[in-house]
Chains A and B, each alone.
Chain A
Amino acid sequence: MTVSSTNHTFRKFKSLALNALCIACAVLVILPLAVILFYLVQKGASSLNWAFFTGVPKPAGAPGGGMGNAIVGTLELLLLASIIGVPIGVLGGIYLSEYGGERLNTWIRFWADVLNGVPSIVWGMVAYALVVLPMKGFSAWAGGLALGFIMIPLVLRTTEEVLVLVPRSYREAALALGLPQWKTIARIVLPTAMRGIVTGVLLAMGRVAGETAPLLFTAFGNSNWNHHLAQPIAALPLQVFSYAIAPYDDWNRQAWAGALVLVSLTFLLSSGVRLFLGNRLQKNT
């Protein structure tokens, strides 16, 4: 039996065409991101200076000023959100992967996915009702709680997924050494999955770092430095929002710069620390 050469050429052509299609789609995915980054740098980079990172907003009309308070505020809010979201999410993920029964797990997963789909402004309303009303004022606590709520289902699901990927044989080996289950999980399973868990946490932080809606009536924003977590606090997305819709050219330019800083922050969160962690773990594997 011979293979005809026309057949062969046609196959080569099909393979080539499909390859080209895949590459085109990949470019389509990356292109918008590249365009956004390019545009942000073009519009915002000129407003980036030392004062932008260290100063606070100037009154309307006065030139200069910066978003230092908003940058620090966003980092503070992220920390607060992580303090709430990471332990609950990770422990819940451990429960799903290591302890829970199949029926209950199905429900927990379902509800986590529903929570994941809840619009973020609803979380702002929940934090408003839980913290702002009783404390009679907007506060960093309320903003952190709202962001923490959003992190919980994200961290929960990614933690569960990476724990399930840890081979059963490691758990069995540890149990066969006469280790109780909690030690097996804490000292064998978690360290093995640590990289994935940290990645999940960082991605969740990157996701909530850019959230604006849940902060509108919780953290509220602040045109000065925040000295107490029970006071309103500035946040980058809020600052970008209010500067972008303001009728002053200088503020508009600063909004571009703020957006650039925000994108860089999420980029650093999801890639920088991951790279560092990857290098550190690669020594062990």
Chain B
Amino acid sequence: MNSTMTPEEIKSAPAGNAEKPPGAIPKPDHKPAPAPAVSAARPVAALTVKNLSVFFGKHQVLKSVSLDVQARAVTAIIGPSGCGKSTFLRSLNRMHELVPEARMEGDIRLFGQDIYSKDVEPVIVRRRVGMVFQKSNPFPTMSIGDNVTVGLRLNGISNRATLAERTEKSLRMAALWDEVKDRLNAPAVSLSGGQQQRLCIARALAVQPEVLLMDEPASALDPLATSKIEELILDLKKEYTIVIVTHNMQQAARASDQTAFFYLGELVEFGPTAQIFTSPRQKRTEDYVTGRFG
């Protein structure tokens, strides 16, 4: 990153920068070169998480996690199994409440609105914050087309033109339209694994959420299907805020703008993806991303 600096600038840079003493956080001296439109101004936070702790019974799964999820960007959550990644993700749309004995403390705001406030229905939160799961789960009793529109139809939208339009738009966004446009009435389970997962993404997009949560969306797919999902994620972030949990380090590095590293329920490090992978501030982060544990 020093390649653009003149020798004078290098001299004037803080001496400690090279050695990175623990605790001293060097101010970024320049903005990353390919600055996206949103980060030109101060980035908008879609989700603001403050001091989030989640318990299952007496077991504390998340320990006072605070981070801001940037709007129209991809935030990757990485960490070894059992570190609370999925729980963190599921607390963002109140899905973790479905587990009996789940309890949370702290504050999560979606564009400024407290989603855990007493007068907010979890149903409304989940309509605004969609989710795609690890294992593709299209509804087996429904056709491809019905799977896409199920969220709309069961929320009272019955206008055929609207449904047809949303079906096409959602399937196009999920990069599945060309493969299924001639057989929308075929059963959803007749699709391949990768297609099924893209169908699930289309289904989540059809209700037009503001944020899309993805829980290891490609972990059960072959490399080709995985790369399709990744391309899709890069495409989707133009319109959506995406939070993705992944076990795949390369995937996080390729597809995300921000990366959060969780370990044993704590947020160890959170920052721009390039920094997490090339110059992490924490020893534990470095050990994990270089494959020394996890």
Contacts and interface: CB of A to CB of B under 8 A. Distances in A.
Interface in B89-146: 93, 95, 98, 100, 123-128, 130-131, 133, 135, 137, 139-141
Interface stretch (B34-42, B148-156, B236-244, B261-269): B148-156
Contacts, number: 71
Interface string A164-194: 0001011011111111100100011001101
Contacts of B100: 102
Contacts of B140: 170, 192, 284-285
A169 B204 contact: no
A86 B128 CA distance: 38
Contacts of A285: 140, 187, 189
Contact of B130 (A170, A177, A188): A177
A42 to B, nearest CB: 45
B52 to A, nearest CB: 19
A47 B141 CA distance: 46
B255 interface: no
What is the size category of the interface that chain A forms with chain B? 20 to 34
A173 B189 contact: no
B187 A176 contact: no
Given A187-B154, A284-B187, A285-B189, A178 B139 contact: no
Interface string B214-249: 000000000000000000000000000000000000
A82 B100 CA distance: 34
Interface residues of B, number: 28
B174 interface: no
A194 to B, nearest CB: 8
A176 B141 contact: no
A177 B189 contact: no
Contact of A177 (B98, B125, B150, B187): B150
A176 B130 contact: yes
B200 interface: yes
A285 B203 CA distance: 19
A212 B28 CA distance: 87
Given A183-B154, A285-B187, A178 B207 contact: yes
A178 B151 contact: yes
Interface string B166-184: 0000000000000000000
B155 A179 contact: yes
Interface of B: 93, 95, 98, 100, 123-128, 130-131, 133, 135, 137, 139-141, 150-151, 154-155, 187, 189, 200, 203-204, 207
21 contacts: A102-B100, A167-B137, A169-B135, A170-B139, A172-B95, A172-B133, A173-B133, A173-B137, A173-B139, A174-B139, A176-B126, A176-B133, A177-B126, A177-B204, A177-B207, A178-B124, A178-B126, A178-B207, A179-B154, A188-B150, A284-B140
Given A173-B139, A187-B150, 13 more contacts: A102-B100, A170-B140, A175-B126, A176-B95, A176-B130, A177-B150, A178-B123, A178-B125, A178-B127, A178-B151, A179-B155, A188-B139, A192-B141
